[in-house]
Amino acid sequence: MDSGRGSCCRCCFSFIFTMGLTALFMWLSLRTSRPSCSIKYIYIPALNMTLNNTKNTTVYMDLRLDNGNKDKGIYYDAVSLNLSYVPNISDPKTRSLIDNSTIPAFYQGHKKKATKPVNFTTEKLNWTEVRSAILINKNVTFRLDLATTVRFKIMAWNTKRHQLTVGANVLVTDLGAKVGKKNIKLSNKATKNGWCSLQVGILVNLFICIMLSI
Contact 112, 126 (CB under 8 A): no
Q: State which H helix or E strand residue 197 sits in.
A: helix 197-213
Residues in the chain: 214
Domain locations in the chain?
32-213
Averaged pLDDT, 95-107: 97
148 bridge partner residues: 164
Q: What is the pLDDT of residue 168?
A: 97
Question: What's the fold here for domain 32-213?
Answer: Immunoglobulin-like (2.60.40)
Per-residue pLDDT reduced to its tens digit, 138-171:
999 999 999 999 999 988 889 999 999 999 999 9
Q: Identify which has the larger pLDDT, 98 or 200.
A: 98
Cβ atoms of residues 43 and 60 within 8 Å: yes
Is residue 83 a contact partner of residue 100, using CB atoms and an 8 Å limit? yes
Tens digit of each residue's pLDDT (9 = 90 or more) over 65-88: 999 998 899 999 999 999 999 999
Q: Strands of 67-198 (E only): list them.
A: 72-76, 79-86, 96-103, 106-108, 113-120, 139-154, 157-158, 162-173, 175-177, 184-186
11 or 172, which is more confident: 172
In this structure, which amino acid lies at residue 95?
Answer: R
State whether the Cα torsion 124-128-129-131 is positive or negative: positive
Say what the pLDDT of residue 24 is. 44
CA distance 33 to 107: 16
Query: Please, is 31 exposed, middle or buried when counting C-beta atoms within 10 Å of its C-beta (0-12, 13-18, 19+)?
Result: buried
In whole angstroms, what is the distance from residue 200 CA to residue 195 CA?
9
The predicted model scores a pTM of: 0.77
